[in-house]
Amino acid sequence: MSTRTDPRPKAKPSSIRGAAPRKPGIAHSAAAQLGAMGKAFSIIEIITAARQPLTIAEIVRSTGLTKPTAHRITTMLSEMGFIERDPQRRGFIEGPRLIRLAMNTLASAAPRTMRHAILRGVSEQIGETCNFGVLVGAEVVYLDRVEAKWPLGLRFEAGSHVPAHCTAIGKLLLSLLPLRERAQVVSAMHLARYTAATIVDAVKLGAALDRIRTARIGTDDKEFIEGVVCVSVPVVSDDGVVVGGIAVSAPEARVTLDQAMQFVPRMKEAAAKLAATFRAPGRAA
């Protein structure tokens, strides 16, 4: 079996003056094998890592791109405002659009950090797992989660999807939908059985959702995971929009559902704080 070799000379280590040490990633010769988007990101990556403007020759040397490709991608990024020539025309630097993107990213990250701290506070105070999730169709997506520091902790990651019809957050958020929308969602759901307690009948689920809608407290009494109970409350924005729900879950061996209900006042306080993180910038509390 023959092995093909690349006739082109091997790229030498970059000697970009003032550039940060390179790490394995898209900003290396592998960028030459990526599509246009990957090549654009590789150029942005090395420009933002450098401490001075980069010339086309330095970009080519660092990324492994051909000179025509580097010219084409830098021209596109310049036209979009992500990079620009520095005032002395010595090379490329961050453009105004890239700077705005970075600032918006930092601004968005701050509320996420605050939300995690709020969940962590609840979890540490009551000693159980606390999570924040939103309803996406017939599922709940956990946007953030703080696990209890116990051997029997429930191991889910942020971004996990769980069924709505048998989880506390899911049932709560389903119950608070406009009735016609709720009926459409429930009728389209596959009511899979996860435990002996899972509600798999649409009529019975509707009755349970009616009760939850009145109480505005969602419960999961071992309906999704055998031996695990969960309680949830909604996170409601200033204008009355339900943006999600927070929940506390625990093995019944540690906490019964009745005991978990005692966490509700503390959870409602946390929900109000979470809701404030969705307030538009500059809006008074």
pLDDT tens figures, 32-86:
456 788 889 899 998 888 878 899 999 999 888 999 999 999 999 999 999 988 8
Q: What is the mean pLDDT of residues 217-225?
A: 96
Q: Which residue has the higher pLDDT, 183 or 34?
A: 183
- Residue type for 1, please? M
- Dihedral of the CA atoms 146, 151, 154, 156 (nearest 10)? 60
Cα 277 versus chain centre, distance: 15
Gap between the terminal Cα atoms of the chain: 71
Q: Which residues pair with 144 in a beta bridge?
A: 132
Q: What are residue 69's phi and psi, to 5 degrees?
A: -65, -45
Q: Is 9 left (phi over 0), alpha (psi -120 to 50) or beta?
A: beta
> SS in 3 state form for the chain?
CCCCCCCCCCCCCCCCCCECCCCCCCCCHHHHHCCHHHHHHHHHHHHHHECCCECHHHHHHHHCCCHHHHHHHHHHHHHHCCEEECCCCCCEEECHHHHHHHHHHHHHHHHHHHHHHHHHHHHHHHCCEEEEEEEECCEEEEEEEECCCCCCCCCCCCCCEEECCCCHHHHHHHHCCCHHHHHHHHHHCCCCCCCCCCCCCHHHHHHHHHHHHHHCCEEEECCCCCCEEEEEEEEECCCCCEEEEEEEEEECCCCCHHHHHCCHHHHHHHHHHHHHCCCCCCCCC
The C-alpha atoms of residue 248 and residue 84 are separated, in whole angstroms, by 49
What are the structural domains, with CATH classification, of the chain?
29-94 (1.10.10.10), 106-276 (3.30.450.40)
pLDDT of the residue at 247 = 96
pLDDT of the residue at 269 = 95
The C-alpha atoms of residue 179 and residue 161 are separated, in whole angstroms, by 24
CA angle (259 as vertex; 254, 262 as ends), nearest 5: 135
pLDDT of the residue at 152 = 52
Arithmetic mean of pLDDT over the chain: 82
The answer to whether residues 162 and 135 touch, using CB atoms and an 8 Å cutoff, is: no
**Range of weakest confidence among 2-6, 160-164, 212-216, 220-224:** 2-6
pLDDT of the residue at 151 = 57
Q: What is the mean pLDDT of residues 103-112?
A: 65
pLDDT of residue 14 exceeding 70, the answer is: no
Q: Which residue has the higher pLDDT, 27 or 281?
A: 281
pLDDT of residue 204 exceeding 90, the answer is: yes
Q: Which residue has the higher pLDDT, 232 or 243?
A: 232
pLDDT of the residue at 248 = 95
